[in-house]
Amino acid sequence: MIPEIGNFALIVGLFLALTLGVLPIIGAARNNAVLMGVARPLAAGQFVFLGVALLCLTYAFVANDFSVLYVAQHSNTQLPTIYRISAVWGGHEGSLLLWAFLLSVWTLAVALYSKHLPEEMVARVLGVMGLIAVGFLLFMLMTSNPFDRLLPAAADGRDLNPLLQDPGLVIHPPMLYMGYVGFSVAFAFAIAALLGGRMDATWARWSRPWTTVAWVFMTMGIALGSWWAYYELGWGGWWFWDPVENASFMPWLLGTALMHSLAVTEKRNAFKSWTVLLAIAAFSLSLLGTFLVRSGVLTSVHSFAADPKRGIFILTFLVIVIGVSLLLFAWRAPKIGLGGKFDPLSRESLLLSNNVLLSVAAASVFIGTLYPLFMDALGQGKLSVGPPYFEAVFVPLMIPMLLLMGLGPLARWKKVDAPELARRVRWAFGAALVIALLLPLTMGKWSVMVSVGLLLAFWIIASVSLSLRERLAGRDDFMQRLRGQSLSYYGMQLAHLGVAVFIIGVTMVKGYETERDVRMDVGDVLNTGGYEFRFNGVTEEQGPNYVAGKGHVTISKDGKVVTELYPEKRQYNVSGMPMTEAAIDTGLLGDLYVSLGEPIPDSNGAWAVRVYIKPFVDWIWAGCLLMSLGGVLAISDRRYRIHNKRLAEAKTEMPLEEKTA
């Protein structure tokens, strides 16, 4: 009964979305207040019904209703309850439902927090989001309904993939999806601007916080996924350039470009067409990501399904969305215009180069990810593009971008006096250079790549400090000056610091990690990286739905015990799948990482063991966290909260930087 209610709720949701996608947009075109007025209630209704559908599916999982095919495929009576809930998005159908539900959450959020927006704008934005929901709900109902029955019901389910039975995987997909789906708001704002033919600084101020929120979710989602891969896949890597990782990374890169381009549109009324194009591209790549992951054309951990009908549906959907938006863009963009003028050396041009480099980086990831697909489709044989490709392309693109990143926040709008800027930054750059050259020596090994990485990181840190000093130092009250800066300024600097922390993590891990795969007999001691790893053997242990071989490794340094690690090798009862659970000692300056390979036959309890030392690896995720916090600070800025009419109508205000500079 409950699954039928869920199915029914989905169908009602589809009709509400359809109405939402049609009436308000017509209303906006005809200036009909009644038609525009239905947008908000419809958004609320869509949220309620999709919420009911999601709850019904969750109920089916918690109550072990194996007469639902999807539940039978992804759950089991032995599965702990928390993983039964996360199993809701552990497969194709359920993750689509989550997608659609989150879209309704964003739609509702726009409906609630848009009281200060002109009515036709709200109607168009909500309408476009309704149309996107129509696409997804149709897809679900036609090709992948999570409520399909399995009759007769299975006695027990097939269990959730053990890889997904992990706290990180409980929150990683919802976070990432919030990001993916969140770009639909920026997209809807862009389409609304094209439809209305009106786009100015006010428009940018409206869509900017939405883009930033989506970006924050996406950053956290990707970071969580990377962290999960690090500790769960059991081989200590944190980024594999796996097609599905790339699928989330491409919209992230364009989303980052979009945030910066929106800043220019808000402050300087420039880059307008470009901003619209970026918003369209970022969301298209989010859709493409969903397509790549869910259609099963890519071979990866994440690909659930390989059903050509689904692939064709998403491909058609993709073509319609991208095609219509680009047509609309070609037709209406000339009306929007390019916007304000600026010099070849100015904050605008620095942000432009940021945008170009990020877009080119996204394009290069795109080529590397899809090249095997194209070649296969053209009958050129199967091939794969590995991490070396991405590193060879990505690093040379990021180096100039990160160098410019230090300059951007220090440069003025419109026109920069080059000698003056050079004079301001010379000490900061010099200090970064000296640290970058000398610091690797204290680590015992000097290499060019480490120095370059550290130079980029310390250059950003120095530039952030310089900017803070220029703004905060002075004869008058320090506290007053501290408060005088906008939250979005602090947000930007914090996010940039996050990038620096991230680079330090990546550089140190790449430069100084130790990876040893060894055979260890009981009682064997391995000396590496200044630590002693003593292997005390493996004992058997019973988990809730698995049997584990639990290893015991004692790590000591200079004769003193540092920590005891207990890596596991699990065998899941239902699926029979083996799983490696690494044991990690996390520290500020690095991780000690031990995971069990396999038992060695014909020996006395010997195992193949991975022993890794990963210096500064946690800085990678700490950096992502700082970037996200920076985003949160930026959207907490006063100017997004003051929604009085006077402010909303003021088209361009004096840029803050010029007042204080």
Q: Which two tokens stand for residue 438?
A: 């000398």
| Closest separation in Å from C-beta 354 to other proteins | 12
- The rounded distance, in Å, linking the Cα atoms of 50 and 39 is 16
Contacting range for other proteins; rule: CB under 8 A; set: 255-263, 320-328, 389-397, 444-452: 389-397
| Closest separation in Å from C-beta 525 to other proteins | 16
Decide: is 207 part of the binding site for other proteins (CB under 8 A): no
Nearer to other proteins, 2 or 393 (CB): 393
| Closest separation in Å from C-beta 388 to other proteins | 4
- Number of residues engaging other proteins in binding (CB under 8 A): 49
End-to-end alpha carbon distance in the chain: 66
Contacting range for other proteins; rule: CB under 8 A; set: 120-128, 166-174, 557-565, 570-578: 570-578
| Closest separation in Å from C-beta 266 to other proteins | 22
Decide: is 377 part of the binding site for other proteins (CB under 8 A): no
Longest dimension (CA), the chain: 82
Decide: is 518 part of the binding site for other proteins (CB under 8 A): yes
Contacting range for other proteins; rule: CB under 8 A; set: 423-431, 455-463, 550-558, 578-586: 578-586
Decide: is 343 part of the binding site for other proteins (CB under 8 A): yes
E-only strand ranges, 228-280: none
In this structure, what are the phi and psi dihedrals at residue 515, rounded to the nearest 5 degrees? -125, 120
Q: Which two tokens stand for residue 331?
A: 């037709």
DSSP string across 24-53: HHHHHHHT-HHHHHTHHHHHHHHHHHHHHH
Decide: is 356 part of the binding site for other proteins (CB under 8 A): yes
- Residues 335, 329 contacting (CB under 8 angstroms): no
Beta bridge partners of 580: 569
Nearer to other proteins, 81 or 384 (CB): 384
Nearer to other proteins, 306 or 330 (CB): 306
Contacting range for other proteins; rule: CB under 8 A; set: 41-49, 93-101, 517-525, 553-561: 517-525
Nearer to other proteins, 318 or 518 (CB): 518
Give the residue from 210, 222, 211, 136 showing the smallest Cα distance to 171.
Answer: 222
Decide: is 597 part of the binding site for other proteins (CB under 8 A): yes
Decide: is 371 part of the binding site for other proteins (CB under 8 A): yes
Decide: is 338 part of the binding site for other proteins (CB under 8 A): no
- Residues 606, 600 contacting (CB under 8 angstroms): yes
Decide: is 383 part of the binding site for other proteins (CB under 8 A): yes
The residues, ordered by sequence, that sit 6+ positions from 305 with a Cβ below 8 Å of its Cβ are: 92, 144, 294, 295, 296
- Residues 472, 478 contacting (CB under 8 angstroms): yes
- The rounded distance, in Å, linking the Cα atoms of 357 and 360 is 5
Query: Which H, E and C letters describe 315-377, residue by residue?
Result: HHHHHHHHHHHHHHHHHHHHHHCCECCCCCCCHHHHHHHHHHHHHHHHHHHHHHHHHHHHHHH
Q: Among residues 388, 419, 444, 559, which is the contact residue for other proteins, using CB under 8 A?
A: 388
| Closest separation in Å from C-beta 586 to other proteins | 22
Tokens 């930007």 appear where? 492
Decide: is 386 part of the binding site for other proteins (CB under 8 A): yes
- The rounded distance, in Å, linking the Cα atoms of 135 and 286 is 14
- Residues 172, 224 contacting (CB under 8 angstroms): yes
Decide: is 75 part of the binding site for other proteins (CB under 8 A): no
- The rounded distance, in Å, linking the Cα atoms of 622 and 502 is 7
Binding mask 222-251 toward other proteins (x if CB under 8 A, else -) reads: ------------xx----------------
Kindly tell me the burial class for residue 334, based on how many C-beta atoms sit within 10 Å of its own C-beta (0-12, 13-18, 19 or more): exposed
Q: Among residues 312, 324, 367, 449, which is the contact residue for other proteins, using CB under 8 A?
A: 367
How far is Cα of residue 227 from the mean position of the Cα atoms in its chain? 12
Tokens 């310390």 appear where? 458
Contacting range for other proteins; rule: CB under 8 A; set: 48-56, 62-70, 201-209, 379-387: 379-387
Nearer to other proteins, 344 or 530 (CB): 344
Decide: is 374 part of the binding site for other proteins (CB under 8 A): no
Decide: is 553 part of the binding site for other proteins (CB under 8 A): no
Contacting range for other proteins; rule: CB under 8 A; set: 22-30, 200-208, 454-462, 515-523: 515-523
Decide: is 406 part of the binding site for other proteins (CB under 8 A): no
Q: Which amino acid is at 486?
A: S
Decide: is 404 part of the binding site for other proteins (CB under 8 A): no
Give the residue from 456, 253, 275, 429 showing the smallest Cα distance to 348.
Answer: 275
Nearer to other proteins, 113 or 371 (CB): 371
Q: Which two tokens stand for residue 260?
A: 């910066």
| Closest separation in Å from C-beta 187 to other proteins | 25
Decide: is 368 part of the binding site for other proteins (CB under 8 A): yes
The number of residues in the chain equals 661
Q: Among residues 31, 77, 299, 316, which is the contact residue for other proteins, using CB under 8 A?
A: 299
Q: Given CA atoms 514, 520, 522, 527 in this order, what sign does their dihedral have?
A: negative
Decide: is 373 part of the binding site for other proteins (CB under 8 A): no
Contacting range for other proteins; rule: CB under 8 A; set: 64-72, 219-227, 359-367, 546-554: 359-367
Please give the torsion angle defined by the CA atoms of residues 199, 202, 207 and 208, in that order, rounded to the nearest 10 degrees: 120
| Closest separation in Å from C-beta 519 to other proteins | 3
Q: Among residues 63, 392, 437, 449, which is the contact residue for other proteins, using CB under 8 A?
A: 392
Decide: is 614 part of the binding site for other proteins (CB under 8 A): no
Decide: is 399 part of the binding site for other proteins (CB under 8 A): no
Which chain residues interact with other proteins by CB under 8 A? 161, 163, 234-235, 299, 301, 341, 343-344, 349, 353, 356-357, 360, 363-364, 367-368, 371, 381-386, 388-390, 392-393, 396-397, 517-519, 575-580, 597-598, 600-601, 603, 606, 608, 610
